[in-house]
Structure 1
């Protein structure tokens, strides 16, 4: 029997807190909110590790504050998905390992960093998630690649590297460039993810942009994963102050019903 785990992208999302309709009035702290959230949903996506490497202490708190059957999907660190990574958000110990030319920069990319520093970031990230893994609460590592990552030999090779870096952890991949799923590349993209045992993330999002991926329902592993980003086309590629502005959208029941035959 298929097991369905619905959830949201973070229990600390500002609209979720400030909307006043989800959390009870006495849920004021991060601990209280997570404990309450876990009574309403069986799964959450942790967004914070994209912005800064998580710690063992954080993961231990997440384990302690949720029921035994609760699941955490965890966003990959920005450095791992070809995004610019602010130097100031690195742990001090890792900042100290930066070459002088990187230490003075505001941000850098993976291609700029020495291999040993990238490896240190990976080990720090994965070690921090061990409490979740050992408690049986770790779902997948969510790798969301930006629109400038396109299908080519270099990106294919990097996906292979990511699979190796993940080790026994499960990974799920979301693309933000339409070429990965166009008629020319769709089959090879899904085959590659399947061969690497990486879960393809299906998406519902505004269409008609270079960053738009068609709403294809496909499973490249035993796990099917769908993210609903909303259909706010006016804001989809705008440079907004917060990500929540881009996803400001309320689905109609009929829009969600479109997915019923795709996932049933």
Structure 2
């Protein structure tokens, strides 16, 4: 099964009737796509009531990819997470997942590590710690440092992920030096594979100090030839992975949903069991 969606559900205006309230957007989103990435969980461990609300608003077969809290992935440089210990932080995060698990709507948790998380023993040990703490919860791993897939470490990185049970989060992003990774279309978990489409805005990717860097970084629209490249990759990956989730993250210009729809059409996928869609009158 190939699931196609986007990251977040609040900012994709092309999907929603005019003046739709924020509280109604997820239900409407789930009339278009069968999966979404939860980004709010990266910024703070979410109250259980939020996940409970979100699962209620989506149909039975809808899936969530929940992003790991930034304190768990080392993004809080110079800051301390609001927990006494790492174990307490992981436990709180796992408890926040219960509504997804109870409704069988948790596809996986995504651990996206920062550009300074490079390939060295200390960090390999931390990955083992994360996997142990998450127990049997499906977890995906996305790197942002090129060293993991360098000539010296690529084979060992992929072997490690297979042995530890990590789902490979394959990234499409600009090739911008050490702070980016190449496309590595390799399955490490036979049950699930994640693909995240960040766009190819090289200029924006290299502007981390820009005040609007988040908007600039993901300002990109995939053209048809680029999507056809990915169609071939996805069909090849499908032979080795039971489920593939493709998430478009190129939404600074509002292009993610359109690209996701176009890619769905290219693959000839017609999803069943989506929510009823509201009619756009104006």
By the TM > 0.5 criterion, same fold? Answer: yes
TM-score normalized by the length of structure 2: 0.79
1:225 aligns with 2:194: yes
State the partner residue of 1:4: 2
RMSD across aligned C-alpha pairs, in angstroms? 1.6
State whether residues 8 and 37 of structure 2, in contact with CA within 8 Å, keep that contact through their aligned partners in structure 1. Answer: yes
What's the CA shift for 1:259? 1.6
State the partner residue of 2:41: 49
* Pairing 1:160-199 to 2, within 5 Å after superposition: 160-199=128-167
CA distance in 2: counterparts of 1:208 and 1:48, whole angstroms: 27
What's the CA shift for 1:237? 2.5
1:252 aligns with 2:223: yes
* Pairing 1:124-139 to 2, within 5 Å after superposition: 124-139=92-107
CA distance in 2: counterparts of 1:141 and 1:201, whole angstroms: 11
Kindly indicate whether structure 1 or structure 2 has the higher relative contact order, using CA contacts under 8 Å at least 6 residues apart.
2
* Cα distance, 1:26–1:208 mapped onto 2, change above 3 Å: closer
State the partner residue of 2:182: 214
TM-score normalized by the length of structure 1: 0.84
What's the CA shift for 1:26? 4.5
CA distance in 1: counterparts of 2:91 and 2:207, whole angstroms: 34
State the partner residue of 1:70: 62
How many residues were matched structurally? Answer: 232
* Pairing 1:85-164 to 2, within 5 Å after superposition: 108-109=79-80, 117-164=85-132
State whether residues 166 and 188 of structure 2, in contact with CA within 8 Å, keep that contact through their aligned partners in structure 1. Answer: yes
What stretches of structure 2 of length at least 5 have no aligned partner? 236-282
State whether residues 193 and 200 of structure 1, in contact with CA within 8 Å, keep that contact through their aligned partners in structure 2. Answer: yes
